[in-house]
């Protein structure tokens, strides 16, 4: 789909009012549209062109976990689109004192034009979306992180020129990032391999779903325990922390389990010569990645972090525009 002009973006709205709970709520063409729109908005911003399709609109942002990128990119993003963001820490709103998600959803629907939520259970996000009459965006759960992957796909596409056929090797924990990356890769026709130790593989049902999608879209999904094998021919190496938010108590146990799964120069040297290194951040240098890799010439982590802004502006424009 070509982004013809501003009118096209504002008026041609097959997205209006929809939620983003997982990437597979959308088709390949729709994800491509969002990525095209993200590139367009990035370009407009770089040229200093003001574009405010969400003037007068308000996004509520519920956080039950910490955040730097998600909070700031959504808040800056809605502001740049002409709207306003309200940060709602679960410590301060009544949800933290037991008000139901269903009641919260209905109350907030009366005030806002969209809700972004970062929480623990995917069920909470589903419950919120079920009772809200406005779009709900998943800003990370224990199971998924779709907004991060939208930005990641934008980043890979802008560097590699396309997504189909690109090989991404993910090394480390089979967590929320892997689940969303796996679905995104399957949908977009990529080759995606996860190397994770026993006991830390991605969810079996999500892997099955990704493999089914992969068959439909000419993609390839696989899981191995061998990082050296996984990175062979890889154009992208991706990793994430070994202990995610909520797993802080398992830090020591995980450091032992993930020994041998560090992304370092030796592992990088086994990949394709055009390999880029990606990490959703925050990173723990010396654990899942060495400082010389994340701060080295193959790393695109800050471009990736910046694209959170552009990808989410595209998402908000599509879902919350008129």
Binding status of residue 178 toward ligand NVA by CB under 6 A: no
Residue where the block lists tokens 């879209």: 217
Is residue 148 among the annotated active site residues? yes
Cα–Cα distance measured from residue 52 to residue 83, given in angstroms and rounded to the nearest whole number:
8
Q: Which of 69, 71, 240, 312 is catalytic?
A: 240
Q: Which does 68 bind (CB under 5 to 8 A by kind): ligand NVA, ligand CP, none?
A: ligand CP
Is residue 298 among the annotated active site residues? no
Binding status of residue 70 toward ligand CP by CB under 6 A: yes
Binding status of residue 177 toward ligand NVA by CB under 6 A: yes
DSSP 20: B
| Closest to 308 (Cα-Cα) out of 185, 147, 183, 177 | 147
Binding residues for ligand CP restricted to 103-162, rule: CB under 6 A: 140, 148
Binding residues for ligand CP restricted to 29-68, rule: CB under 6 A: 67-68
Give min distance, CB of 142 to ligand NVA, in A: 7
Whether omega for the bond prior to residue 299 falls within 30 degrees of 0, making it cis, is no
DSSP 250: G
Among the listed ranges 51-59, 162-170, 226-234, 240-248, the one in contact with ligand NVA (CB under 6 A) is: 240-248
Cα–Cα distance measured from residue 72 to residue 213, given in angstroms and rounded to the nearest whole number:
32
| Closest to 318 (Cα-Cα) out of 12, 74, 3 | 12
Cα–Cα distance measured from residue 114 to residue 59, given in angstroms and rounded to the nearest whole number:
5
Q: Which does 176 bind (CB under 5 to 8 A by kind): ligand CP, ligand NVA, none?
A: ligand NVA
Is residue 240 among the annotated active site residues? yes
Binding status of residue 287 toward ligand NVA by CB under 6 A: no
Is residue 280 among the annotated active site residues? yes
Is residue 118 among the annotated active site residues? yes
| Closest to 92 (Cα-Cα) out of 63, 128, 52 | 63
Q: Which residues are catalytic?
A: 118, 145, 148, 240, 280, 308
């Amino acid at each position: 789909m070509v982004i013809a002009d501003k009118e096209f973006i504002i008026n041609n709205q097959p997205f209006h009012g929809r939620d983003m709970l997982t990437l597979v709520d959308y088709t390949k063409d729709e994800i491509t549209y969002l990525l095209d729109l993200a590139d367009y908005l990035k370009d407009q911003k770089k040229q200093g062109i003001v574009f405010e399709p969400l003037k007068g609109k308000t996004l509520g942002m519920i956080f039950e976990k910490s955040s730097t990128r998600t909070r700031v990119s959504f808040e800056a993003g809605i502001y740049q689109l002409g709207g306003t963001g309200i940060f709602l820490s679960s410590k301060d709103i009544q949800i933290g004192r037991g008000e139901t998600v269903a009641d919260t959803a209905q109350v907030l629907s009366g005030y806002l034009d969209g809700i972004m939520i970062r929480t623990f259970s995917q069920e909470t996000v589903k419950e919120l979306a079920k009772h809200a009459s406005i779009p709900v965006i998943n800003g990370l759960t224990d199971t998924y992180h779709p907004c991060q992957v939208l930005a990641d796909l934008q980043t890979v596409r802008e560097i590699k020129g396309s997504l189909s056929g690109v090989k991404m090797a993910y090394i480390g924990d089979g967590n929320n990032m892997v689940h969303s990356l796996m679905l995104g890769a399957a949908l977009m026709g990529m080759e995606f391999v996860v190397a994770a130790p026993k006991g830390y593989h991605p969810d079996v049902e999500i892997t099955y779903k990704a493999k089914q999608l992969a068959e439909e879209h000419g993609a390839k999904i696989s899981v191995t325990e061998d990082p050296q094998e996984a990175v062979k021919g890889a154009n992208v190496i991706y990793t994430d922390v070994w202990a995610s938010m909520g797993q802080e108590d398992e830090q020591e146990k995980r450091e032992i389990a993930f020994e041998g799964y560090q992304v370092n120069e030796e592992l990088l040297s086994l990949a394709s010569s055009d390999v880029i290194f990606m990490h959703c951040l925050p990173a723990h240098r010396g654990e899942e990645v060495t400082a010389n890799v994340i701060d080295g010439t193959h790393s695109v982590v800050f471009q990736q972090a910046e694209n959170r802004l552009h990808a989410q502006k595209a998402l908000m424009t599509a879902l919350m525009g008129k």
